[in-house]
Structure formats: structure tokens, C-alpha cells
Amino acid sequence: MNILVTGGAGFIGSHIVDAYLAEGHRVVVLDNLSTGKREQVHPDAVFYDRDLIDPAVEDIFKQEKFDAVNHHAAQISVTQSVADPAFDAEINILGSIKLLKLATSYRVRKFIFASTGGALYGKQNSYPADEEHPKHPMSPYGIAKLTVERYLDYFQDNYKLQSAVLRYSNVYGPRQDPHGEAGVVAIFCRQLLQDQPPVIFGDGEQTRDFVSVFDVVAANLKALVENFQGTYNVGTGEETSVNTVASFLIEASGKSLAPKNDPPRMGEQLRSCIDYGKFKRDHGWQPAQSLKQGLKDTFDFFANRHPMEANRE
């Protein structure tokens, strides 16, 4: 297949590019490098440095004739979305609509969209939340993801664009940056490598569902199959406290540093966890990476990078 991966220079997208190439697909990356890194793009991928809203993106569709689009380009900071909702909407909503229009105009068969679990369900009524759980996004970022999901329904119903929505929990792993939903892992790694204590906001008992980027990649491989469509949670179904994450990373670092507690952040969601049972039943996907080993691998990745590069994370 000829596949476009938007955001393919970023944390999750670059791993997906690697996996698609390993499966023998041709991959084109579209990324403006605002948060992605050029060096993370596999040398066998075709690379375009473009914004989603750049009119020249249509020329790429016209020239490349894609079979599938995997859409990971986004404004990924929840905090930034709160500070500037209009900018978040321009990238995450309007940019996605433009991509959907191009996909239908140039007869793309499959559209895979990276959505969110925790930010979409918001304050949950039950744990873990399945795909039918009420949606109560508490940030413009979550609102934008839900909006694009609705547009995907529209384009599928009216233009027969086969779409797959993957709602991620908190993704962590090598190449992670500190700005996404699971950015705390990258932040703790950076602090420990600088011999600073991990800074925890509040009491640290707030929980998240931390899923390895390699399990997310496996989900994106399954989503590429011809008849795969629908909405699926991609998580572990387990709640893990921020205190536990800090403890595992301190152990991985081998350093004698105790976490430091700062005042809690206003409006922070206290619990988040999503149910992957539907994905397992329908397509056999389930998480394989243990959190403790995954966090150690992530710390080792940052530790083995050039010190100045690690300090810029």
C-alpha cells in the first residue's frame, strides 16, 4: 500500500512509519516539524515538510495517489489547547477536515485517525470506560478530537470513506516528548537524568492508563487491514498512579532521589482508564508490554541519547 502518515516525524507517528515500512508498504510522511524531529523519520520514507493547512498539500495527494491515510498530526498539548482554543481548533479540527476532503477527492480507501480516550471521556462514570461511555471532554483538545470523530462519521456515511478511530490512553515510550497526555514520563526521565527529583503535582495518587507506544503501533498495523473500521480503545484497562510511575523510573535510574510534591494543578482529571475489550474481541489486539519494563526501556532510551539533546526535551 501507499500510505500517508501525518505527524510521521513525531513520537507515535515515527514508530508507525517504521512498522509500516517493515511490512513492505511505501510510506510518505507529512510533518511541519513543530514538535516532530527530522532525524526520527525513517530514511526509506518520503518526507514533506508541510503544515496540514498548506494549500500545497493537495499537490502531494495529486502526485502520490495514496491508498490510506494515517492521521497523527495534531496540536497535542492539553494545556496549550486551554490557553489558545482557537489555535487548537485550527490545527486539530480544520486541518483534519481539509485532510478528509482531500482523501475523498483523491479516492483514498482507508483513513485511520488517532483520537484520545482519557481526554474524550473526561470525568468517568465507570472504570475502565468502554467505547460507549458518555463523552465529557474537559479541554478544547478533547472537544476537537470528538468533533473530528463526528466528521469521520459524516465522510464515511456520505463519501464511503472507510474510517478507523483509535482512542489512545496515555501513550509512553522511546522518542516521547513532554507535551502529550503521558508527557509526565518524559519529564520524569529528563529530571532524573539531570539529578533532579521528579516533581509531582498534588499527592500523586491521580491515575492514568499508560500504554506502550509499541502496543499502539500494533493497533495501527491491525487498523490497516482492508475491512477494519469502527472505533476502538487502545489502552491497558489498568489504572496506575503518578507515584507508581515515579517509583518505577527512579528504580530504573538507579538514583537515590525522592519525588518532590508541588501544589495540584487546577482542573486536573483525577482518574482515567479505558477498556480495550472490544478491540480484543473483534480483532485480537491486547497490550503486551508490561509497564515496569516499558518505563525502564524508555528511561534507557533517554539515558543513551546525547546529554545536550536529552536536556532539550
> So what's the pLDDT on residue 6?
98
Q: What is the domain-level CATH number for residue 266? A: 3.90.25.10
> What is this structure's pTM?
0.94
Per-residue pLDDT of 120-129, as tens digits, reads: 999 999 999 9
Per-residue pLDDT of 56-102, as tens digits, reads: 999 999 999 999 999 999 998 888 898 999 999 999 999 999 999 99
Average pLDDT of the chain is 94
Pick from 33-42, 107-116, 238-247, 265-274: least confident: 265-274
CA distance 63 to 158: 25
Q: Which domain holds residue 19?
A: 2-171+211-234
Per-residue pLDDT of 174-204, as tens digits, reads: 999 876 555 899 999 999 999 999 999 999 9
> So what's the pLDDT on residue 310?
44
Q: Looking at the structure, tell me whether residues 167 and 290 fall in a common domain.
A: no
Q: How many domains in the chain?
A: 2
Q: Looking at the structure, tell me whether residues 161 and 105 fall in a common domain.
A: yes
Active site residues: 141
Per-residue pLDDT of 137-173, as tens digits, reads: 989 999 999 999 999 999 999 999 999 999 999 999 9
CA distance 267 to 274: 20
φ, ψ of residue 307 to 5 degrees: the values are -55, -40
Q: Looking at the structure, tell me whether residues 102 and 181 fall in a common domain.
A: no
Q: Looking at the structure, tell me whether residues 63 and 149 fall in a common domain.
A: yes
What is the radius of gyration, based on Cα positions, of the chain? 19
> So what's the pLDDT on residue 313?
45
In the predicted model, is pLDDT for residue 309 greater than 70? no
> So what's the pLDDT on residue 181?
56
According to the 3-state scheme, what is the secondary structure of the chain?
CEEEEECCCCHHHHHHHHHHHHCCCEEEEECCCCCCCHHHCCCCCEEECCCCCCCCHHHHHHHHCCCEEEECCCCCCHHHHHHCHHHHHHHHHHHHHHHHHHHHHCCCCEEEEEEECHHHHCCCCCCCECCCCCCCCCCHHHHHHHHHHHHHHHHHHHHCCEEEEEEECEEECCCCCCCCCCHHHHHHHHHHHCCCCCEEECCCCCEECEEEHHHHHHHHHHHCCCCCCEEEEECCCCCEEHHHHHHHHHHHHCCCCCCEEECCCCCCCCCCCECCHHHHHHHCCCCCCCHHHHHHHHHHHHHCCCHHHHHCC
Q: Looking at the structure, tell me whether residues 13 and 32 fall in a common domain.
A: yes
Whether residue 307 has a cis bond before it, omega within 30° of 0: no
CB 212 within 8 A of CB 172: yes
Q: Looking at the structure, tell me whether residues 21 and 154 fall in a common domain.
A: yes
> So what's the pLDDT on residue 126?
95
> So what's the pLDDT on residue 305?
81
Q: Looking at the structure, tell me whether residues 89 and 184 fall in a common domain.
A: no
Q: Looking at the structure, tell me whether residues 122 and 202 fall in a common domain.
A: no
In the predicted model, is pLDDT for residue 269 greater than 70? yes
CB 202 within 8 A of CB 263: yes
Q: Looking at the structure, tell me whether residues 27 and 58 fall in a common domain.
A: yes
CA distance 109 to 111: 7
| Cross-strand partners of 154 | none
Sign, CA dihedral 255-305-32-210, equals negative
Q: Looking at the structure, tell me whether residues 10 and 158 fall in a common domain.
A: yes
Per-residue pLDDT of 18-36, as tens digits, reads: 999 999 999 999 999 999 9
CA distance 313 to 310: 6
Q: Looking at the structure, tell me whether residues 51 and 158 fall in a common domain.
A: yes
φ, ψ of residue 102 to 5 degrees: the values are -65, -40
CA distance 209 to 291: 10
> So what's the pLDDT on residue 193?
95
> So what's the pLDDT on residue 226?
85
CA distance 87 to 74: 11
Q: What is the domain-level CATH number for residue 154? A: 3.40.50.720
For residue 291, give the C-alpha cell: 509497564
Sign, CA dihedral 254-258-259-260, equals negative
Q: Looking at the structure, tell me whether residues 84 and 138 fall in a common domain.
A: yes
